[in-house]
Amino acid sequence: MSRLLAVPLLALAAASALAALPAPVHAQAQQRAYAPEDLWTLSPAEQSRVIALEYREQSRGRQIPDDQLRFYLDQVRLSRWTFSQVKNDIAKSLGGAGAPPPPPGPGMQTARCESTDGRTRTCSMPWQGPSRLTRQLSSAACIEGRSWFNGNGRVIVSSGCRGEFRPGTGPVGAQWTTLRCESIGGRFASCGHDVVGRAQLVRQLSSGRCIENRNFGVRNRQLWVSDGCRGEFRVRVGAAPGSGYSVTCTSRGGYATCA
């Protein structure tokens, strides 16, 4: 009788011992990210941890790019992004399937182009003609002519620039962006597409001064520079003809500048 009781007792002891062992590594990795909606209440280290874990879960084990993590931390700190907003944006950046997003269809109004790890990438847009940046996704600056370049139906990004783009002539409201424009050898140069209003000099790159309406300005929906002016300019782009944007400018016996 004692031998018959010994066998089930030994089996029960073995099962208890196995249950006490720590979970396998792959099982531990399956725990889901958890964070309160108000991420800004966590420490920066905790914010980084839960965001990185959420990215790994959605991307099936991939590590979040450093510039994308910095972007989310900035959005939490400056714009009070919630955990749900971060999760949704991660899903959008991954195409919702843990893989690079597929090329957008003809009916889509935006397309992404991303320079990962600082590498240069050329993206074919689902439209012909120029494109414009509508949303910067990276912490690295996206500056036309410097870290992203316009082409006919193509966008080239580099230096960590990641963003969403729309057709340059689409019927949408104007958006602020930064253009780099340089007059080399004193020659006239034009930059950008669908520029409206006035250009604001935010960083002068030339030794000679850049003075509005003397050696830089906006004309024919493009930023222009001349006489050696080189700089980075903040401009509004994207208001296409027929979109409701109009300006009345009148000269009353002299030179007039209109915003």
Please report, as a single letter, which amino acid is at residue 80: R
pTM of the model: 0.33
In a domain, 8, yes or no: no
Task: Note down the domain range covering 62.
Answer: 32-99
Same domain, 184 and 157: no
pLDDT in tens, 58-88: 888 888 887 788 888 888 887 788 888 888 8
Q: How many domains does the chain have?
A: 3
Higher model confidence: residue 76 or residue 18? 76
pLDDT in tens, 80-126: 888 888 888 888 777 643 334 444 444 446 888 999 888 888 888 88
Predicted local distance difference test score (pLDDT) of residue 9 = 54
User: Buried b / exposed e across 190-202, counting CB within 10 Å, b at 16+?
Assistant: bbbbbbbbbbeee
Same domain, 116 and 150: yes
